[in-house]
C-alpha cells in the first residue's frame, strides 16, 4: 500500500458514486456492450450447463456462477492478458470471460478429450496456462497459497505481472487463506485477493461461519487494505478492480476486495438451494439481478435498443449452442490413456 493508505482504508457501497438508471459513467459504448454481452454469455452458458447436467451429459460436481455475473465480468475485465488468474471450483463463467474456448470448457464439463483439461478435470478443474488461467481447484481455499507463490515468482523475476485470486466467503475461514495473506503482505507480493461474498458456504450463512462478517476487514490483520464493493453492479466492480489492479502493479503489495453478491441457484447441482434461505431473501436479491438491471440501464441510457439487445441474445445463444455441439462431437478419452497427464513426463 502507498504511504497515504492505511490498512483500514476501503470503499463501501455507500461511498461509491451513486448511479441512477442511465448514468453509465465515462465508458465507451463498445465497452458497455462488451460488459453486457459477457454477463449474458455467462448467464446463458450456465443455464445450458444446468440443463446438460440434468440430461446426464455432465457428471460429478458442478457449481454455477448464475447471479454472480457482475463480479465475474467486472473483476476479470480489469486484468491484463499477461496477469495470472486463480479461481475456486465455481469458475465456468471466469473461464469463458477469460477467453478460454467455450467449446473446450463445455467439453471439459462433458469429460471429453477436447476439454481444456483433456477431460481429466471436469467442472472444478478448468485450466489454461496459455491464458494464465491457473485453475480450477476443489479444495476450498487451496488455490490461495498457490496464487501467493506465483506472485512471489512474478516479483522474483522482476516482471510487472500481478495475480488475481478469487475465492468464496467460506474460504476466508480456512487456515491456508490466513497463511497466504500473511506471506503476501510480509514479502510484499503483487496479489489482488478477491472474495466473492455470496452470503453462503454451501448451506451455512456467513454469520454462522465467520466471527467477522465484514469480510473486507480480514486482510487488515495482515496490514492488507480491504475494500468492499457492490458485486451486483458490473461498473462498480470494474471501476474498483481496475484501480486496484494498477495499484498492486505499481506498489507490488497485496490488496483485498470483498464483492457482495448472491448465487441464485443452489450451492451445486445437488442442492436445490432453498432449505437454508427464505423466499423473501431470494426475491430481494432477484430484484438486484446484475444482467437484467444492466440491460435496463443500457436501454434507458440509449446505449442500445431492444432490437440490439435481441441481437446480442441471439449471438450469445448461438455461441452456447456451438459450445454444446463441440462438446457432443468430441470423443471420450481412451481408457488406455487414463494415466496420461497425471504425472509430469521426463520429470
Ligand atoms: C478444505 C475443504 N473443506 C470443505 C470442502 C467442502 N466444501 C465444498 S464447497 C464448500 C463451501 C465453500 O463456500 P465459499 O467459499 O463461500 O464458496 P461458494 O461455494 O459460495 O462460491 C465446502 C465447505 C472442501 N471442498 N474443501
Ligand atoms: Mg460463498
**Could you report the per-residue pLDDT of 83-128, keeping only the tens digit for each?**
999 999 999 999 999 999 999 999 999 999 999 999 999 999 999 9
**Residue among 150, 143, 164 at smallest CA distance from 80:** 164
Q: Does 14 score more than 80 pLDDT? A: no
Pocket of ligand 1 (CB under 6 A): 88, 90, 138-140, 167-171, 198, 200-202, 267
Say which ligand is closest to the CA of 266.
1
Enter the pTM of the model. Answer: 0.94
Position 11 scores a pLDDT of 52
Looking at residue 23, its pLDDT comes to: 66
Whether the per-residue pLDDT at 168 is higher than 90: the answer is yes
Which residue lies with its CA nearest to atom 17 of ligand 1?
Answer: 168
Contacts of 70 (CB under 8 A, 6+ apart): 39, 231, 232, 233, 234, 236, 237, 261, 290, 291, 294
Judging by DSSP bridges, how do beta strands 204-205 and 200-201 pair with one another? antiparallel
The Cα–Cα gap between 139 and 87 comes to: 11
* H or E stretch covering 194: strand 191-197
Domain residue ranges in the chain: 27-323
Beta strands in 71-176 (DSSP E): 84-86, 163-168
Q: What whole-number distance in Å separates Cα of residue 124 and Cα of residue 21?
A: 36
Mean pLDDT score, 70-84: 98
- Separation CA 217–CA 9 (nearest Å): 10
Does residue 19 or residue 241 have the better pLDDT?
241
Q: Which CATH number fits domain 27-323: 3.40.50.970, 3.40.50.1820, 3.20.10.10, 3.30.360.10?
A: 3.40.50.970
pLDDT of residue 98: 98
pLDDT at 13 over 60: no
pLDDT at 338: 84
Q: pLDDT (tens digit, 9 = 90+) per residue, 42-73?
A: 999 999 999 999 999 999 999 999 999 999 99
Q: What is the mean pLDDT of residues 3-14?
A: 48
Helix/strand/coil for 86: strand
3-state DSSP assignment of residue 320: helix
* Cross-strand partners of 226: 256
Name the pLDDT band for 24 (thresholds 50, 70, 90): confident
Q: Closest by alpha carbon to 100, among 292, 257, 326, 290?
A: 326
Q: Candidates 86, 202, 277: which one to mutate for ligand 1, based on the most atoms within 8 Å of Cβ? A: 202
Residue identifier of the C-alpha nearest atom 11 of ligand 1: 201
Q: What is the pLDDT of residue 73?
A: 98
Q: Which grid cell sits at 103?
A: 467449446
Tens digit of each residue's pLDDT (9 = 90 or more) over 216-245: 999 999 999 999 999 999 999 999 999 999
Give 268 Cα–ligand 2 centroid separation in angstroms: 11
Amino acid at each position: 500500500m502507498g504511504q497515504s493508505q492505511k490498512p483500514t482504508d476501503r470503499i463501501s457501497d455507500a461511498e461509491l458514486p451513486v448511479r441512477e438508471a442511465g448514468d453509465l459513467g465515462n465508458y465507451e459504448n463498445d465497452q458497455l456492450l462488451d460488459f453486457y454481452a459477457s454477463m449474458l454469455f455467462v448467464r446463458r452458458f450456465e443455464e445450458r450447463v444446468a440443463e446438460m447436467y440434468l440430461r446426464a451429459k455432465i457428471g460429478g460436481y458442478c457449481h454455477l456462477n448464475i447471479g454472480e455475473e457482475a463480479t465475474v465480468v467486472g473483476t476479470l475485465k480489469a486484468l491484463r492478458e499477461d496477469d495470472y488468474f486463480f479461481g475456486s471450483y465455481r469458475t465456468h463463467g471466469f473461464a469463458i470471460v477469460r477467453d478460454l474456448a467455450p467449446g473446450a470448457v463445455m467439453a471439459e464439463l462433458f469429460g471429453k478429450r477436447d476439454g481444456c483439461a483433456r477431460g481429466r478435470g471436469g467442472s472444478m478443474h478448468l485450466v489454461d496456462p496459455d491464458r494464465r488461467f491457473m485453475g480450477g481447484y476443489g479444495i476450498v481455499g487451496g488455490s490461495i497459497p498457490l496464487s501467493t507463490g506465483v506472485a512471489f515468482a512474478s516479483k522474483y523475476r522482476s516482471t510487472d505481472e500481478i495475480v488475481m485470486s478469487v475465492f468464496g466467503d467460506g474460504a476466508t475461514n480456512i487456515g491456508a487463506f490466513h497463511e497466504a495473506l500473511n506471506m503476501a503482505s510480509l514479502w510484499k507480493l503483487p496479489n489482488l485477493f478477491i472474495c466473492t461474498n455470496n452470503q453462503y458456504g454451501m448451506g451455512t450463512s456467513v454469520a454462522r461461519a465467520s466471527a467477522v462478517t465484514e469480510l473486507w476487514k480480514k486482510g487488515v490483520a495482515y496490514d492488507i487494505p480491504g475494500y468492499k464493493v457492490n458485486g451486483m453492479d458490473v461498473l462498480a466492480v470494474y471501476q474498483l478492480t481496475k484501480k486496484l489492479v494498477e495499484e498492486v502493479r505499481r506498489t507490488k503489495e497485496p490488496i483485498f476486495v470483498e464483492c457482495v453478491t448472491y448465487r441464485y441457484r443452489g450451492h451445486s447441482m445437488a442442492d436445490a438451494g432453498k432449505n437454508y434461505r427464505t423466499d423473501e431473501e431470494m426475491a430481494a436479491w432477484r430484484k438486484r439481478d446484475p444482467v437484467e438491471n444492466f440491460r435496463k440501464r443500457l436501454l434507458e441510457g440509449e446505449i442500445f435498443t431492444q432490437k440490439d439487445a435481441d441481437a446480442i441474445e441471439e449471438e450469445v445463444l448461438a455461441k452456447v449452442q456451438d459450445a454444446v455441439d463441440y462438446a457432443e462431437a468430441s470423443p471420450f478419452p481412451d481408457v488406455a490413456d487414463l494415466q496420461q497427464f497425471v504425472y509430469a513426463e521426463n520429470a
